Structure 1
Amino acid sequence: MAQAQAQDVIRCQYCEDEPALFQCLPCGDELCSKCKVFHLKSKVPSGHKIISFSESLHASNIMKMCEQHPTKPYEVCCEDCQVPVCVICIEETHGKHNIGKMENLYEEQKASMVKELHQIKNQFKLQVVQTLTVAKSGKSMLKKSHETLRSRMSEEAKQLIDQITAMLNKTLQESKDDEEKEEAEISQYETKLEEFLQQLEEIIEKYINLTENGNPADLILYRQQNPHTVQNLTIPDRIEITPPSFKSGKLLDMTQIRFFQDKDSISESGNTCYHR
């Protein structure tokens, strides 16, 4: 067991005897305490950053190579352009710009993204979920209302002759057509809400990855490419769901059929109409 543990120790790449406790970020060399000093003396100090292995696990110490110059790592940030840059980037493009530490811009952008993440999760997502619930409930209510409407129409139609039966079939079909049309509108609205909810979930996942586990340069580049994420989020406009209504006696009026009715019946029926 002791022999196996000894084989797992990472050795210094210089002396190959002592365990490696440090790493040079630009070079990737793994060094012991003594060779660390030698490494710094033999290299240009300004171009090398040596940290302990425990520090190398932190996101702010993860080196990322420049997209424009793959052989050079991002070392600082252009404060004017709000992007990470390497030494060649500074010489070619950003020489007259204000250059600052990547850690400062990283912490600033991270704080902004954490704030927006909270807003997306607790405002946009919550509101969409609640609105989607209302829409689903409204569709169920609409269906029940149409079922009740058709039942009342059928009860009154039983008292009429063939003419009212034909009119009943017509109005039933109109009700079904209206129901299908309204359900289709709500289903389309649900789809928009679900798509927007999926968009929010993707943004939330992206923000979480960038703020908790992501590379600082990736976070900064994402912010530079997407500076108005929350401002561009627009919840689909709500649609109003109105149940249909039916007043007794309209089918009789539509067929122009009249029955002898007593005074109280006439008083109860009054003027009737059928509308949505």
Structure 2
Amino acid sequence: MDPRTSAQDVMRCDLCETAVVQMHCDTCLVNLCKACVGEHFSADLSKPHKIVHFKDKKSTLIHPRCTSHEEEMCDMFCTHCDVSICSICLASDQHLGHKLARVLEIRDKKRDKLVKKQTELKEKIYPNYQDIASDVQIRMSQLEKEYGDLSTAITKHGEDWHREIDKLVKKLKAEVDEMKNTQLQTLQKHLDEINKTMSDIKDEINSVDSVLESTDISSLFSLPSTLDRYTNLPRKITVTIPKFILKKLQADQLFSLKTISIKSDKHGYSMKTTQKSPEAGSSPPVKQLLDQPETVTTIDTGYDRLYNVACLSDEKIWTSGNDSIMKLYSINQGSLLKSITTKSGNMPYDIAVTKSGDLVHTDYYGDRTVNIVKNEKIKKVIRLRTWRPRGVCSTSSGDLLVIMYSDDGKQTKVVRYSGSTEKQTIQFDYKGKPLYSSDGYYRYITENRNLDICVSDYGARAVVVVNQAGKLRFRYTGHTPAPMNKPFSPLRITTDSQSHILTDDDNNHCVHIIDQDGQFLRYIDCGLSYPQGLCIDTNDNLFVAQLFKAQVKKIKYLQ
């Protein structure tokens, strides 16, 4: 057993290993007796040994050892290299011209920062977590109560339905008894009439027998000729039993539960502080629909046919039509500001503007690419092989959503790209059935404020909306009566700050407005003629491209 570390012995000197420890070298971390202190000093005169009483050991700060000279302790710190340095390093040219500071100075600064952070953890952050934990526990208790109330309501509703069903069954059985008694009484009356007639016939038979057996001829002559009245048999009474009709009603048609929602809000909690700060408005102000939308201005574009419009800003819009030129117009002046020609010479199928203000267009008819225009130079971002890109939009996160059509004409899908990298594919519902039609009709795409992905599927005559994960939320198939009473034919699609979804309907020369859950709100017509492209500026003004007039209408529809 080592006498220096035995729990049954006192601490011994690290040098002589016999005397009781009385002193300690904070520099070398060595335990010493008084007799060995001098020997320890003389063993290494290069170090500034600090000898203290054993009970006061570790009172001296231990400087870091030099990474280049292991035996040396560091007094200085090079802020340029972010490393502690010893006197040998300092004497060399390695850190010449670098900003130097004393290790203790750097230590004090770091210690002050650490103390502040610790104070913040103790006095601010940890109490906030305590409050949040308390809030979660309170909401859990509220959840228990609310779910209990919900179960009670369901039970009560079930009991109410049972009572109603019992009443209905009792009523139906009473009606059955009444019908049965009515029919039995009718048949009984008919039976009584027949029995009386049968009794009369028996009497007639007996009378005839008496006459036939009599030798008195006059009795034969006096027999009344009433026998023929029995040759007409009585009428037949037919009764029908009522048929019990069971109406097909599923149990969930009586009552059901709405889907629960569990949302994780990154900014749901805010740090409590004694300082006042302005409130951050993350949600847009609520705007009401105007009773009557109004046209603000009209811009002539000069195309033979105008297909697309995309807002660059509140003052400028990009347009494209039935040629290879994409044109930028001033909204207020109505003047042409810039023209860009596609590389392939084909007309763009769709155009969009990214968050950074770059123009994006798809080349469906040519080289199957998605292109971006930066500084008037066109760069191919995505190139497809067995698919052709159709509609495109830029998302709030900066991704591109592209709806595309397979070369074999059998498939349609939505693909999310980050730059040129494919991140997500949306094609089928949870049953494995296609979400989108696979014919050759038009399809365009946009992202809603709630991150839903909205597709106008002309072939299916529907707006198909899935959530960010690609799960089907709803299909909107139009509203009746339509302005022209023609089938719903959605082409382009856009959304506004209120999460409204707007889609044009060229059959009915109008724009449909639905809410984020697919409920119809109203039509916008404003004298529209074959509406095609749609976009919304930051003030929620609607821009509509008119196909044959080749005009863009700016329409105000929100207050």
TM range (shorter): 0.3 to 0.5
User: What's the TM-score once normalised by structure 2's chain length?
Assistant: 0.25
Q: Which has the higher helix share?
A: 1
| Structure with the larger strand share | 2
Question: Which structure has the greater CA radius of gyration?
Answer: 2
Structure scoring higher RCO (CA < 8 A, sep ≥ 6) equals 1
